[in-house]
Amino acid sequence: MIEVRGVRKSIRNGSRTVDILKGIDIVVPSGQFVAIMGASGSGKSTLLGLLAGLDAPSSGEVLLDGIDISRLDEDRLAEIRGKKLGFVFQSYQLIPTLTALENVLLPHELNAHGDGKPHARELLTSVGLGDRLTHYPVQLSGGEQQRVALARAFMLNPPIVLADEPTGNLDSVNGQHVLDLLLSRNRDAGTTLVLVTHDPVVAALAHRRIVLRDGTVVADEVQA
């Protein structure tokens, strides 16, 4: 479960202070698929970063399965991220010097024991890249890179997956493919999925749609 309590986020931009989030209160139950929407500058990516512990709120709390991650030190946060979170970036963010297999294997090597290679291979095959294990990111197309990123996010079967505009850089065919993989993870494994998007078609697929405007929640509706 994800809980956000009274979270505010302000940053200094030169001499002035910019309030990105102005008090957010959200609870996301386990297994829910939530789409966060909003125009550019509404604070949706910032909110996602706070949920992942990649940033710290100026005030308020963020709890993952009851653990307040807002004030934890970096190493403890890394541990929690490794165990509880899978993150999918808009621009894939694969490590360019590692092969597809090694990128997918990375979460296992950082957080688990034993041989993760069979599972990594299996994941890559499941996303249609069984024949690209030894390819470097520069040798893969955008859609293929994003699928490797998905496989990486799923490697440790995290209970929560956060995705920041995962189809933003993809064409419609690849985008649909990636979406299908995310949806099947949520449906079949019960993974909590929080997805940031500006595409209403993608948002329509979610159980719940949260709309941000100017740093506040202006709509929060459960969809049929």
Partner 1 sequence: MTTLEPTKPALGWATASRIAWRELRASYAKFLFVILSVAIGVAALTGVRGLSEAFKRTLMTQARSIMAGDLSARMFRQLTPKEAQQLDSLDMQGVQRTDATELVSMASSATDPVPLLVSLKAVDPAAYPFYGSVLLDPAGDFRSVLTDHTAIVGPDLLYRLKLHIGDTLRIGNTTLTIAAVVAREPDRMSSTMGLGPRVFITRHALENSGLLQQGSRAGERFLFRLAPNAPNVQKVRSRLEAILPEAQVQDFRQANPGLTRGLDNATGILSMICLVAMVLGAIGVAMAMRAHLAQRMDILAVMKSIGARSSDILRIYVLQTTLLGLTGGLLGVVLGIGVEKLLPHVLGLLLPITVATYLPIRAGLAGLLTGLLTTLLFCLPPLLDIRNVKPNLVFRRLVDEGASAAKMSFSARWKEHRAQWISVVIIVAGLCVIAWGLSDSWIVATWFTGGLGAILLFILAMTAGLLKLLRMLLDKTRLSLPSFLRHGLANLYRPGNQSKAVLSALGVGVMLILSVFLMQRSMIRDMQVTLGTGVPNIFLIDISTDELPGVRKLVAAQPGVIGAMEALPIINGRLTQLDGVDAQTRKDEKHFPRHLLQSTVLTWSDTVPNGAKVKEGAWWGPHAHGQVAVEQDLAKRLGLHLGSTVAFSVNDQLIPVKVAALIRNDGEHVNARSEFVLSRDALAGLPTVWYGAIHVAPAQVGRVQAALFAAFPTVTVINIADVIETIQSVVRQITFVIRFLAGFSILAGVVILASSVASTRFRRIREVVVLKTLGARRSRIAGIFAVEFIMLGSLAGLVGTVFANLLSSQLLRRMDVTFHGAWLADLIGILGTGLLAVATGWLASLRILGQRPLEVLREE
Residues that bind partner 1 (CB under 8 A): 11, 49, 52-56, 74-75, 77-79, 81-83, 85, 87, 89, 93-99, 101-102, 105-107, 109-111, 117, 138, 152
CB of 223 to partner 1, least distance (A): 29
CB of 2 to partner 1, least distance (A): 16
Question: How far does CA 60 lie from the centroid of its chain?
Answer: 21
Q: How far apart are CA 189 and CA 31, in angstroms?
A: 8
In this structure, the number of other CB atoms found within 10 A of the CB of residue 190 comes to 12
Minimum distance from residue 190 beta carbon to partner 1 (Å)? 21
Judged by beta carbon, residue 67 or residue 95, the one nearer partner 1 is 95
Most distant CA pair in the chain: distance in Å? Answer: 53
Smallest distance, partner 1 to C-beta of residue 102, A: 7
Which residues are CB-contacts of 88 (< 8 A; sequence separation ≥ 6)? 146, 149, 150, 153, 161, 162, 163, 164, 166, 182
| CB-based contacts of 188, cutoff 8 Å, min separation 6 | none
Note whether 101 and 134 are within 8 A (CB). yes
The nearer residue to partner 1, 105 or 217, going by C-beta atoms, is 105
Rounded to a whole number of angstroms, the minimum distance from the CB of residue 81 to partner 1 is 5
CB nearer partner 1, residue 109 or residue 171: 109
CB-nearer residue toward partner 1: 16 or 221: 16
Which residue number, 97 or 184, has a Cβ lying nearer to partner 1?
97
